[in-house]
Amino acid sequence: MSHGLERMVEDAKLAKLIEDAKRHVMTEDERRERSIAESISRSQQEDEAKYNAWYLGDYIETGCENCGRQRVCRCPNGKHRCEKCNWVPEDQAYAPVSNH
């Protein structure tokens, strides 16, 4: 192969490498968008995990010490929560999630 032809082939290979590299390089805006999307995804996963931990299970015999209704349920996290007022007797506070 002649020197001129070799040079053209090398230039073509280099141009392809540069184009490939450009496709893989993210702009600052793309990095920011990806970071925001990942943050939202993590936040949604955390919210879903919290909701699942406080999901209202079966009713228990005891009434709510806060509102008096017979709406206390056992949650998957082992604590109890009033379906009506959202009171958690173990914490003496309201649950960090709601039914609405």
pTM for the structure as a whole? 0.59
User: Alpha-carbon dihedral of residues 68, 73, 75, 78, nearest 10 degrees?
Assistant: 70
6-41: pLDDT as tens digits: 887 787 888 888 787 777 676 777 778 888 878 878
Domain boundaries defined on the chain? 1-53, 56-100
29-87: pLDDT as tens digits: 777 888 887 887 888 888 888 888 999 999 999 999 999 999 999 999 999 999 999 99
Length, in residues, of the chain: 100
User: Alpha-carbon dihedral of residues 62, 66, 70, 72, nearest 10 degrees?
Assistant: -70
Helices (H), the chain: 3-24, 28-53
Q: What does the alpha-carbon distance between residue 54 and residue 75 come to, in Å, rounded to a whole number? A: 5
